[in-house]
Amino acid sequence: MKKILLILSSFILFAATVILMSVPLTSDSFYGDALCISAPGAPLKLPKLPSSEEFILRHSIASASISDSEDDSSPVPAEESYTPETEPLPPPSDIIETTIQKGSSSLFGIEINNETDYDLSSALKEVQRPSSPTVLIVHTHTSESYRPSDKFPYIPKDNSRTEDTCFNVARVGEELRSSLSAYGINVIHDSTVNDYPSYNGSYKKTLELIEAHLKKNPSIDIIIDLHRDAMERTDGTKISTVCTAENEKAAQVMLVVGTDRSGLNHPDWRDNFSFAVELQNIINENFPHLTRPLNVRNERFNGHISGKELIIEVGTTGNTLDEALVSARALAFAINEFYTG
């Protein structure tokens, strides 16, 4: 009888092994213990949200740049350097790790790069907070991705891009959604790929998505167009903007505000600017050096659609997805503080 049971148990174990080996897995089908669904538009199951105490950020390394135009980007010279007390593990030889510290001006307690000729000193307005808000997260350039890492070893298609939402900015948007939901905030995350097959016209596609969501969900208050910036030197060396959170690297984030200076209708851009100033102050108070200087642009982007619409650039082509996910959770904490603090 014992021999029969032993043979039976061995057969069951062998059969289970064969079944598990037959299940197709990508190189990173799982994030922690959670399955990563890579189909565009599908929700991602995420790991447990860390406590806010895990987001005590410490200043890390040096300086960097800002993105350029609506459908393109180009590097700008660095500004200021800083060497941390404890050096992290060195990045790959084709990566330079830096931290932006100073903008072209300091105003309202934050650093600002004002690319317009508007006087921002009189642009601040009162920011309203509805009682039951909804946050909408979209991605104009959904295929923007990050430097592959041990945890996320994907193969970019070209120019740091992939349509796989396990590895592009949609994954960061889903981390933001999950974290905001954990705080009890209503969130809609639309991970539609808007920059494929054509990169041009992606802002128009995103605008149509936003308009459709606003029609269905009038409670939408904050609209975040989440991107990844591109920063490289002329020799191809990528620039990674980082700071440190509990011995983990986080990608710096940059809030971008569009205006009507290019001639497109956007009469209420000061509402967006005022919200950005307030949010950046909250981020800086809780996570020093996580933000790059607030970027005020001539281009409108899709800012005219709402008084709290922002482009948020999370990291650069030199950052890893690991670092960007830390930043997404910190952003969620700051947005919750905006509503409850």
Computed over its alpha carbons, how large is the radius of gyration of the chain? 21
Report the distance separating Cα 132 and Cα 130, nearest Å.
6
Question: Please, which residues have CB within 8 angstroms of residue 92's CB and are 6 or more apart in sequence?
Answer: none
Report the distance separating Cα 210 and Cα 206, nearest Å.
6
- Cis amide leading into 130 (omega within 30): no
Report the distance separating Cα 23 and Cα 301, nearest Å.
43
Domains of the chain and CATH, by start: 30-340 (3.40.630.40)
Q: What is the pLDDT of residues 41-100, one digit of tens each?
A: 333 333 333 333 333 232 222 223 333 344 433 333 333 333 333 344 456 778 999 999
Using alpha carbons, list the distances in angstroms from residue 161 to 7, 176, 226, 228, 265: 51, 20, 15, 10, 31
Report the distance separating Cα 272 and Cα 256, nearest Å.
9
Q: What is the pLDDT of residues 271-320, one digit of tens each?
A: 999 999 999 999 999 999 999 999 999 999 999 999 999 999 999 999 99
Backbone dihedral angles phi then psi of residue 288, each to the nearest 5 degrees: -55, 135
Q: Give the pTM.
A: 0.77
Q: What is the pLDDT of residues 139-148, one digit of tens each?
A: 999 999 999 9
Q: What one-character-per-residue DSSP string does 266-309 give?
A: -TTHHHHHHHHHHHHHHHHHHSTT-BPPEEE-SS-TTGGG-TTE
Do residues 299 and 258 make contact, with C-beta atoms less than 8 angstroms apart?
A: yes
Do residues 305 and 214 make contact, with C-beta atoms less than 8 angstroms apart?
A: yes
Strands 238-245 and 248-251, bridge-based pairing: antiparallel
Mean pLDDT across the stretch 18-30?
33
